[in-house]
Chains A and B, each alone.
Chain A
């Protein structure tokens, strides 16, 4: 307070007046800003959902382009191949497991389609085999998916695995996917597993 005593009274009054004016203006603008903020949030709140979103692949839209392996922010990708066993034919000659031109139905690496040998083949009973994906090895390259979809039942397909995925605000694969197959889905229905999940008919 000691400075004001140095000032002539008239100056002080003038200062006070302009100060009052400024404060009035400030609170006016503050109020309008608060209202604008309230308006924006109210408007989006009217549409907002309690559930959260996650990203997921529509296996029927995916064209197995291979970008899932390369475009994810994670390396290796959060996209992995999953196996819908219900749809599998347990074929000996698996289109997803063996290269089309392979000369023998053996587990030899040169005959396998998967670049990382992530598919494990297990004999069940004559002539059936179970195919199991080793998630730690799979890089989501979609080679097996392509094979299985073209020559088999299409039981192998890609999904974003949610204990790996970081749930980016915008999935960087979604942007690059040529088939627009990656969409936001509700977190409570986070997977589109073929068989359980059928393409919504629009």
Chain B
């Protein structure tokens, strides 16, 4: 009986599919006698391309003005107003998208996905701030980035964090950057965009979790200056590389430092390096011996990183929907009977075979294998170099901004009593 029913069903199904294919329209469009005019389907145009180019123009102008205000004009007030404008335009008006930070992923994807080509606007958003930073330091962070601006404006009473904590937390952006590149390269996800903490605030609409994250970040930012910039922002990693070797950079004093120490507590981000005290350095026993040891263990760090990367690649690859689905179907075949699991049901209905799915998943997993290995090695190198840096002794006579970490916000300039 059951079998008969089954056969009947199959037959009916076949008939239906055949009829669909035989004639596209089951019910032909009628001929109207009453002079009916058919409305047209609405297709409102997306934002005009010219406007996207206008965004790039605004970006370029803002970068130029920010650099001028910091390097030439030395005006904290100017940069403050510029950052407010940037927050209004790129943040609240453009809803925080597209931004330079997220553009990392577009550039990455264009390298790894043959079918994707980055749009010129996204590429310019990625590359312009880096170029400017190579010349004038992180003026982008000071007056153009809306994420930086919103955090900068909420600073009330910044606490100074111990150096080791700053350094350790400062490694997180490297991890974030590696993961973002890995996920973008494997076509898995754009995590920078998905976990942008402030986008919910810019749009005034988001899933509750993202709003909570954004508000928490801002509350924290009242006491810890720019927490996202310092301990998360993946673009900040690239900017800080550029800034370290920038041709020119903000200086605290317009001419000579008179060692008055007035600026020493002015930086909310612990980005001012104090003059070095040679006696102390000698006493603490930092020296060539340590330097050599730390330099020699860098390969060990890299090896450890590669090892961890390889070990975690299966775990990381589960973020990919295809891999996740394949693993789910293999480990728990009973989900096939769960009518509420949309992904599984859609897969079953699609007629794709299990082998194809597994094959595709394996290709992605292979990419994750290579990617995690490289990312792990890179992170090992970063840790090794950071440690090495702690024992490198650089002679400094004056109070100077740390070129990599300084956001060129200009606060310290206001504290310096020296006139031009």
Chain A residues close to B by CB (< 8 Å)? 1-3, 26-27, 29-30, 33-34, 37, 40-41, 43-45, 47-54, 63, 65-67, 73-75, 82-91, 124-125, 128, 130, 132, 135, 152-153, 159, 161-163, 165-170, 172, 175-176, 178-179, 184, 187, 190-191, 193
Q: In the assembled complex, which residues on chain A have CB atoms less than 8 Å from the CB atom of B26?
A: 89, 152-153
B44 touches A169 (CB 8 A): no
B2-42: CB near A (< 8 Å → 1, else 0) gives 00000000000000000000001111111011101011111
Given A29-B245, A47-B110, A85-B39, residue A41 in contact with residue B49 (CB < 8 A) = no
Q: Is the pair A90, B118 in contact by a Cβ cutoff of 8 Å? A: no
Interface SS of B by simple majority: loop
**Which stretch (B57-65, B224-232, B343-351, B366-374) binds chain A?**
B343-351
Q: How far is the CA of A30 from the CA of B135 in the complex (A)?
A: 9
Chain A residues with Cβ under 8 A from B107's Cβ? Answer: 40, 44
Cβ-defined contact, B119 with A162, below 8 A: no
- Asked if B119 and A190 make an inter-chain contact with CB atoms under 8 angstroms apart, the answer reads no
Tell yes or no: B251 within 8 A of A by CB.
no
Using Cβ atoms and an 8 Å threshold, which residues of chain B touch A40?
107, 127
Contacts of B38 in A (CB 8 A): 85-86
Q: Are the CB atoms of B194 and A170 closer together than 8 Å? A: yes
When the two chains form their complex, are residues A45 and B123 in contact, meaning their CB atoms are under 8 A apart? Answer: yes
Instruction: Report the Cα distance A152→B28, complex, angstroms.
Output: 10
Please tell me if the beta carbons of A89 and B120 are within 8 angstroms of each other in the complex.
no
Contact call B342/A67, Cβ cutoff below 8 A = yes
A-B contact pairs, 15 of them (CB 8 A): A2-B256, A29-B245, A30-B245, A34-B134, A44-B111, A48-B117, A73-B206, A82-B43, A85-B41, A89-B25, A89-B26, A89-B30, A162-B46, A169-B97, A169-B106
Query: In the assembled complex, how far is the CB of residue B34 from the closest CB belonging to chain A, in whole angstroms?
Result: 5
B380 interface residue per 8 A CB criterion: no
Q: For the complex, what is the distance from the CA of A178 to the CA of B206, rounded to whole Å?
A: 22
Q: List 20 additional A-B contacts (Cβ < 8 Å) besides A89-B25, A169-B98, A178-B346.
A: A30-B245, A30-B247, A34-B131, A37-B127, A41-B126, A44-B111, A47-B118, A48-B123, A51-B49, A52-B46, A52-B52, A85-B39, A87-B24, A130-B39, A153-B25, A153-B27, A169-B103, A169-B106, A178-B342, A179-B346
User: In this complex, what residue of A is CB-closest to B36?
Assistant: A124
Cβ–Cβ contact B203 & A33, under 8 A: no
B326 within 8 A of A: no
Which residue of B is nearest A175, CB measured? B189
Q: Are A37 and B28 in contact (CB under 8 A)?
A: no
What residue in chain A is nearest B103 (Cβ atoms)? A169
Cβ of B269 within 8 Å of any chain A Cβ, yes or no, is no
Select which of A33, A89, A153, A193 is within 8 A of B43 by beta carbon. Answer: A193
Q: Please determine whether B246 and A187 come into contact, CB atoms closer than 8 angstroms.
A: no
Top 4 nearest A-B pairs by Cβ distance? A89-B27, A178-B346, A162-B46, A170-B190
Any A CB within 8 A of the CB of B72: no
Q: Do residues B43 and A125 form an inter-chain contact, with CB atoms below 8 A?
A: no
CB of A84 within 8 A of CB of B41, answer: yes
* In the bound complex, CA of A152 to CA of B190 (Å): 38
B85-99 vs A, CB cutoff 8 Å, 1 = contact: the mask equals 000000000010110
Query: Which residues of the partner chain A approach B193 to less than 8 Å between Cβ atoms?
Result: 168-170
Q: Is B205's CB within 8 Å of the partner chain A?
A: yes
Q: Could you tell me if B43 and A54 are in contact, using CB atoms closer than 8 angstroms?
A: no
Contact A169 B102 (CB under 8 A): yes
Contact-residue size bin, chain B (C-beta under 8 Å from the other chain): 35 or more
Contacts of A47 in B (CB 8 A): 110, 117-118
B171 → A minimal CB distance (Å): 21
| Complex interface: chain B residues within 8 A of A86 (CB) | 29, 38
Among A74, A86, A169, A172, the one with the most B-chain Cβ atoms within 10 Å of its Cβ is: A169
Contact of B189 among A45, A166, A170 (CB under 8 A): A170
Residue of B32, B106, B119 most packed against chain A (CB within 10 A): B119
Which listed residue (B118, B241, B350) contacts A33, Cβ 8 A? B241
* Known contacts A41-B123, A85-B38; A190/B30 CB under 8 A: no
The interface residues of chain A lying within 8 Å CB-to-CB of B126 are 41
Residue of B nearest to A89 (CB): B27
Residues of B near A128 (CB, < 8 A) are 30, 32
Taking a contact as CB atoms under 8 Å apart, the answer to whether A48 and B41 are in contact is no
Question: When the two chains form their complex, are residues A169 and B105 in contact, meaning their CB atoms are under 8 A apart?
Answer: yes
Query: Which residues of chain B come closer than 8 Å to A26, judged between CB atoms?
Result: 245
Q: Does B116 sit at the interface, judged by CB under 8 A?
A: yes
- In angstroms, Cα B118 to Cα A53, docked, is 9
A8–B59 Cα gap in the complex (Å)? 49
**Are B342 and A161 neighbours in the complex by a CB distance under 8 Å?**
no
Could you tell me the distance between the alpha carbons of A40 and B95 in the complex, rounded to whole angstroms? 27
Q: How far is the CA of A157 from the CA of B46 in the complex (A)?
A: 19
Q: How far is the CA of A49 from the CA of B106 in the complex (A)?
A: 12
Q: Which of B120, B342, B345 is in CB contact (< 8 Å) with A50?
A: B120
Q: How far is the CB of A160 from chain B (nearest CB, A)?
A: 9
Query: Which residues on B sit within 8 Å (CB–CB) of A190?
Result: 43, 45-46
Please pick, from B32, B45, B117, B342, the residue contacting A65 in the complex, using a CB distance under 8 A.
B342
Q: What is the bound-complex CA distance between A1 and B258, given in angstroms?
A: 11
Q: A45-B123, A125-B33, A152-B26 are in contact. Are A161 and B44 (CB under 8 A)?
A: yes
> A30 near B246 (CB under 8 angstroms)?
yes
